[in-house]
Amino acid sequence: MFILMQERNETMSNLMKASQELFRRSPDETFPSLAALSAHCRQEREESHENWHAPEELWARAVGTEQLMLAHGNGESYQMTDWSFGQLCRLGGVAKDTVNRLSPDTASRVLAETLPHGNKPLQVYTVGQQARSIHGASYTRLFNAELLDLVDQCADGFEPPPEGLGGATGLYCGEQDLFLFLIDPTGWVEIEGESFAPGFFLWNSEVGRRSLGVETFWFQAVCQNHIVWDAIEVVEYKRKHTANVRDAFGDVRGIIQALVAKRDQRRDGFARAITQAMQTRLGDDADEALKSLAGSGIGRSLAKKAIEMAREQGALTVFAVVDALTRLSRRIEFAGDRTELDQQAGKLLTLAA
């Protein structure tokens, strides 16, 4: 069993998992919506079966000169995927690349000599007559459909990110594994004067290709490559599919629920701060407001313009001045200067606390 739970708070980081998935997934592994992905995973679960065989009941059988199949029982056969064929080779302790270079007849004889014998049964996970995976008794499956049900129950407000390159949606499921990338596009809040929104990655494999895992975070931007930029409060959890993997189901639920709870807490706090800022005057007159802005690092010329714009709106409140500064920042040519002003403006909200 392997568990990793790690939180990184000290610096902002760029997260690459979703981008790596974007570039490795084929169109048929990409789904347009969570509903479509959930329907696919439910159908896969309904059509798949766990079949248990004694080791001596399984062997590799050559079919013609081009195909190697996994035989069982009285000679019935499963077709193998690339993944299950690799697992069979690992059970026999022979390199997959080596067996691939052999004729089916020779490969069947090699595997007959090397496949294990014993009392512990082997699990063959199938859909129809295709073997999706081959595992020993210690492997415990967690179905993709179960995880997607959990997301539906716990992650209210979360949805796929904006469409990426090549129509990438952040929602993927293939022959070997599942990966999804979700964000809350309405969950933006101010953290230490900067804007962040919550998101998470979730991954799993029903065939042993990868661990069960979740990674939650707060981020500032997502590009078309689905790189997550400037992430903070990153929490990562992984668990292998061993006998107690179902205990991890509750852990994953708790991690997602913690992200949702923090989102709601921060969003409520931000709403209260905005309400307070709309009711709090920056000063009794323009001179007092100018002194407050100067004390917050806002240049005199820019401060005067912001105060004039705020007075045109009818009230010299903290919110009106912050709004004016935000509009003025859009006129600034250089992105670094715009960002600096936006951060200074955001910090003014603390004057209404």
The 10s digit of each residue's pLDDT in 264-319 is 888 877 667 667 777 788 777 778 888 878 777 788 888 888 888 888 777 788 77
End-to-end CA distance of the chain: 48
Query: What is the three-class DSSP state of 161?
Result: coil
Crossing angle of helices 318-329 and 300-312, rounded to 10°: 120
Place of tokens 């990674």: 215
Indicate the range of 25-29, 31-35, 127-131 predicted with least confidence: 127-131
The gap from C-alpha 76 to its chain's centroid, in whole angstroms, comes to 40
Q: Which of 238, 234, 202 lies closest to 218 in space, CA to CA?
A: 234
| pTM (predicted TM-score) | 0.76
Q: Which residues contact 232 (CB under 8 A, 6 or more apart)?
A: 8, 9, 11, 12, 13, 191, 196, 217, 218, 219
Indicate the range of 29-43, 121-135, 144-158, 190-204 predicted with least confidence: 190-204
The per-residue pLDDT of the chain, averaged, comes to 86
Burial of 174 (0-12, 13-18, 19+ CB in 10 A): middle
Confidence check: pLDDT of 133 > 70: yes
List strand residue ranges (DSSP E) for the chain, in order.
3-8, 13-15, 48-53, 58-63, 67-72, 76-80, 122-127, 130-135, 171-173, 178-183, 189-191, 194-204, 212-219, 221-222, 228-239
What pLDDT sits at residue 318? 79
Measured CA to CA, the distance from residue 99 to residue 90 in angstroms comes to 11
Confidence check: pLDDT of 9 > 60: no
- Residues of the chain with pLDDT > 90: what percent? 55
Q: Which of 193, 217, 157 lies closest to 34 in space, CA to CA?
A: 157
Indicate the range of 122-136, 151-165, 226-240, 309-323 predicted with least confidence: 309-323
Measured CA to CA, the distance from residue 309 to residue 262 in angstroms comes to 35
**Could you tell me which residue, 73 or 202, shows the higher pLDDT?**
202
Q: Across-strand partners of 72? A: 58, 76
What pLDDT sits at residue 338? 65
Q: What is the pLDDT of residues 89-107, one digit of tens each?
A: 999 999 999 999 999 999 9
Confidence check: pLDDT of 3 > 50: no
Going by pLDDT thresholds of 50, 70 and 90, the confidence category of residue 2 is very low
Q: Which of 44, 47, 131, 128 lies closest to 84 in space, CA to CA?
A: 131
**CA atoms 269, 274, 280, 283: torsion sign:** positive
Neighbours of 103 (CB within 10 A): 12
The values of phi and psi at residue 115, to 5°, are -65, 145
Query: What is the three-class DSSP state of 229?
Result: strand
What's the token pair of residue 149?
């049900």
Confidence check: pLDDT of 152 > 60: yes
Q: Across-strand partners of 201? A: 181, 215
- Residues of the chain with pLDDT > 70: what percent? 90
Cβ atoms of 49 and 125 within 8 Å: the answer is: yes
Q: Which residues contact 140 (CB under 8 A, 6 or more apart)?
A: 241, 242, 243, 244, 245, 246
Indicate the range of 61-70, 132-141, 267-276 predicted with least confidence: 267-276
**CA atoms 152, 153, 157, 161: torsion sign:** negative
Place of tokens 């009392």: 119
What's the token pair of residue 139?
């492997």
Going by pLDDT thresholds of 50, 70 and 90, the confidence category of residue 1 is very low
What pLDDT sits at residue 337? 65
What pLDDT sits at residue 36? 97
**Could you tell me which residue, 70 or 73, shows the higher pLDDT?**
70
